[in-house]
Amino acid sequence: MEQVFFYLGYPFVQFFRMLERFGAFILFQIKILPLFFKPPYRVKETLQQMDIIGVGSLFVISLTAIFTGLVEAIQLYHGFHKFGAEEFMGYTIFVSISKELGPVFGALMLVSRAVSAMTAELGTMRVTEQIDAIDTLAVDSKKYLIVPRVIAATLSTPILVIVFVFLGNIAAYLISVYALGVNPNSYKNTITTYLEFSDIGTGIIKAFVFGYLISIIGTYIGYFTRGGARGVGLSTTKSVVYAAMTVFVANYFLSTLFLYLDW
pLDDT digits (tens, 9 = 90+) for 207-251: 999 999 999 999 999 999 998 889 999 999 999 999 999 999 999
Q: Can you say whether residue 183 is alpha, beta or left, with left for phi > 0 and alpha for psi between -120 and 50 degrees? A: beta
How many other C-beta atoms can be found within 10 angstroms of the C-beta atom of residue 194?
14
Asked whether residue 2 carries a pLDDT value surpassing 70, the answer given is no
Per-residue pLDDT, averaged over 129-141, amounts to 88
Q: What pLDDT does residue 14 have? A: 67
Instruction: Specify the length of the chain in residues.
Output: 263
* 8 A C-beta contact, residue 227 and residue 127: yes
The percentage of the chain sitting over the pLDDT mark of 90, rounded to a whole number, equals 63
User: What whole-number distance in Å separates Cα of residue 180 and Cα of residue 109?
Assistant: 29
* 8 A C-beta contact, residue 159 and residue 106: no
Question: pLDDT per residue over 41-88, tens digit each?
Answer: 888 999 999 999 999 999 999 999 999 999 999 999 988 888 877 888
Asked whether residue 28 carries a pLDDT value surpassing 90, the answer given is no
Q: What does pLDDT average to over the chain?
A: 89
Question: pLDDT per residue over 89-105, tens digit each?
Answer: 999 999 999 999 999 99
Asked whether residue 7 carries a pLDDT value surpassing 80, the answer given is no
What one-character-per-residue DSSP string does 36-69 give?
Answer: GSSSSP-HHHHHHHHHHHTGGGHHHHHHHHHHHH
Per-residue pLDDT, averaged over 142-165, amounts to 95
220 CB burial (10 A radius; 0-12, 13-18, 19+): buried
Asked whether residue 176 carries a pLDDT value surpassing 90, the answer given is yes
In this prediction the pTM is: 0.91
Give the pLDDT band (50/70/90) at residue 40. confident
* 8 A C-beta contact, residue 218 and residue 75: no
